Amino acid sequence: MRGRRTSTDSVGPWPAALLCLGLFVAMCVSPERAGAVERSLRGELKRVLVLHSFGREFRPWSEYARDIKSELERQSPWPLDIQEHALLTARFNNPGPEAPFVEYLHSLYQGAQPDIVLSIGAPAARFVQRYRARLFPDTPLILSAVEYRLINRADLTDNDVVVAIRNDFVAAFGNILQLLPDTRMVAVVIGASPLEKFWLEEVKRELKPFGERLELVWFSDLSFEEILKRASNLPPHSALFWGLMSVDAAGVVHESDIALRSLHAVANAPIFSYQEPFFGGSAVGGPMHSVAETSSRTVSAAIRILGGEKPASINYEPLSFGPPRYDWRELQRWGISESRLPPGSEIRYRESNAWERYRWQMLLITSVFLVQAGLISGLLHERRRRRLAEVESRQRLAELAHVNRYSAVGELTTSIAHELNQPLGSILTNAETAELMLKAASPDLDEIRQILADIRRDDQRASEVIRRLRSVLKKTPFEVRDIELNDTVREVIGLVTALAHGRRVALTYMPASADLHVKGDPVQLQQVILNLIINAMDAVSDADVKKREVFVSTARTGNQAEIRISDTGPGIDSADLGSVFDPFFTTKPQGMGMGLAIARTIVEAHHGTIAATNLLSGGALFTIKLPIIR
């Protein structure tokens, strides 16, 4: 069971009241929690004091402190109370007296010593070492994240553990030349605080061997504003080395991270650093200190000490740089080839390409496309098959209609023969008369001319009968064209007039006053009309029917052309109204029952309708409706 409390400078250390309150709340809340607080009251609560070198948000140390704290909280088997204080004086060029801060800490921890003190960075380490006798005489101390050169070895005691790091500037500059062998100049950014001045000298000393190969430019005498100006205007084959920037030469204090980001925004050369907290956004990368390694050593030492181990028994060698790491985005920006990176390098922040980033979306879209394409081709195939089937069925329909037409025309045979006989008989009589007149000594030529004109008229009448008959019996495939419906109906009327006479039926046709243009096959539509008129004549030919009349009319209603065929027959039995269009439905002894079925199929193929009703006056009424095209 673990727990933690973290407090800051403004809060007193571990007030007893808080513990009592904790116990009270815990007892009210859960037995588990109550157990933890009880243990802490028995002395198991571990009190940890963390001392920061600069501000609490000052990189790179803020990252070390954050990692150490979270690891400690994760690994500690005891509940922890972590107090944090920041030694702001380390930032200033001319540090003020530290006495008030020491007194403040003294009053906080007097009589309530922490179980362990952790200092982060060199200034904090030096501070604790200097004042430990007064502040924490018996408390074990871990000096963490401190460069080995800055350790005050003279003041180290058996109660101390050092988790040191080693800055290797030769390795850092070797990395620059490894990546960019043409580099001729490196500008070094290091601030002007006492600590930074120390490092400036160290860097200068260590980099002496590079003197011949590289021009080293030191920005430590410049204000940060001036540094930004210079960094934006570096000559070709330059690089920037980011050491540390807490106070610039103008005495202005900077948060290193923000300063680095402003430099990155304007610099016209790549920036290198050896601190992990500066990696990931601004620096190209290379060998660098690993925050995780330092914090893991620090936490392991802290736990061992809190568990009762003697600090003197814990010894670590200074940590060198970890394996090199590079920022892919910076490598791209400065055109650094991956082949230049040392073996074992790790590349971070690689931006995935569109395929890697949207792989699932792309796969999904592609599969949707494929499914769609499959569906479309399936539908196209289906459509083609349907078209073929339609053509096929029309062909069959045309054939069936043709057969049916023969049977309908069969009905007309007698009347047609009669209709033909009449003109032929007149022609014969007229021809004989003309012959006789020509035998006379002075034939009356005018009379003969008159006779010849009659012969011509009769001949035309006969050929008109034959033309009509041939046109309705024509065997043609179903063929749609623009037709005028009044004329189409008139043709049929012409064909059946003789039959109507023969059957003593009064056939009346009333065409619409305006033209009715529809799209259709004239032969097929004529067949429908012919069928309906013959059916109507059949109906009125019944012995019981007194009035033998058939009316045919055409009209326009809205966008539709209507053909109405009615009669004065007995009408259709109301029980049969729904079945008259069914194939093989007939009430006639010699009927085939196909006429109306074929009529409906033909009308529907013209996108029209056909309906049968009975008139109030008694006869049947058939109405055909076809869409008008203009």
Which residues sit at the interface with ligand ADP, rule CB under 6 A? 531, 535-536, 539, 567, 569, 571-572, 580, 585-588, 591-597, 620
- Residue 523 C-beta: closest distance to ligand ADP, Å: 18
Place of tokens 């209603």: 557
The residue among 41 and 545 lying less far from ligand ADP, judged by its C-beta, is: 545
Residue closer to ligand ADP, measured from CB, 295 or 531? 531
Q: Write phi, then psi, for 79 (nearest 5 degrees).
A: -65, 145
Is the CB of 59 or the CB of 600 nearer to ligand ADP?
600
Based on CB atoms, which residue is closest to ligand ADP, 27 or 403? 403
184, two tokens: 């001729």
Least Å distance, CB 410 to ligand ADP, is 12
Rounded to 10 deg, the angle between the 359-439 and 522-540 helix axes is 60
**Nearer of residues 165 and 610 to ligand ADP, judged by Cβ:** 610
Minimum distance between the CB of residue 517 and ligand ADP, rounded to whole angstroms?
Answer: 28
The SS3 call for residue 5 is: strand
Smallest gap from Cβ 584 to ligand ADP, in A, equals: 8
For the bound state, the minimum distance from the C-beta of residue 568 to ligand ADP, rounded and expressed in Å, comes to 10
Tokens matching residue 620: 């049947």
Helical pair 256-266 and 224-231, crossing angle rounded to 10 deg: 30
* DSSP-H helix ranges across 181-306: 194-206, 224-231, 256-266, 291-306
Measured from the CB of residue 364, what is the shortest distance to ligand ADP in angstroms?
A: 57
Shortest CB 595 distance to ligand ADP, Å: 3
Integer CA distances (angstroms), 565 to 521, 607, 624, in order: 19, 19, 9
Cβ distance to ligand ADP smaller for residue 16 or 575: 575
- ∠ CA 196-167-286, nearest 5°, is 110
Q: Shortest Cβ distance from residue 409 to ligand ADP (Å)?
A: 14
CB of 539 to ligand ADP, least distance (A): 3
Q: How is 301-341 classified by DSSP, letter by letter?
A: HHHHHHTT--GGG---PPB--EEEEEEHHHHHHTT--GGGS
Output 287 or 569, the one with its CB closest to ligand ADP.
569
Contact status, residue 56 vs residue 120, Cβ threshold 8 Å: no
Dump the DSSP string for 34-99.
HHHHHHIIIII-EEEEEEESS-TT-TTHHHHHHHHHHHHHHH-SS-EEEEEEE-GGGGSSS---SH
Cα–Cα dist 302/299, whole Å: 5
420: tokens are 């033909």
User: Which residue has the closest beta carbon to ligand ADP?
Assistant: 595
Tell me whether residue 45 or residue 620 sits nearer to ligand ADP (CB atom). 620
Which is nearer to ligand ADP, 240 or 597 (by Cβ)? 597
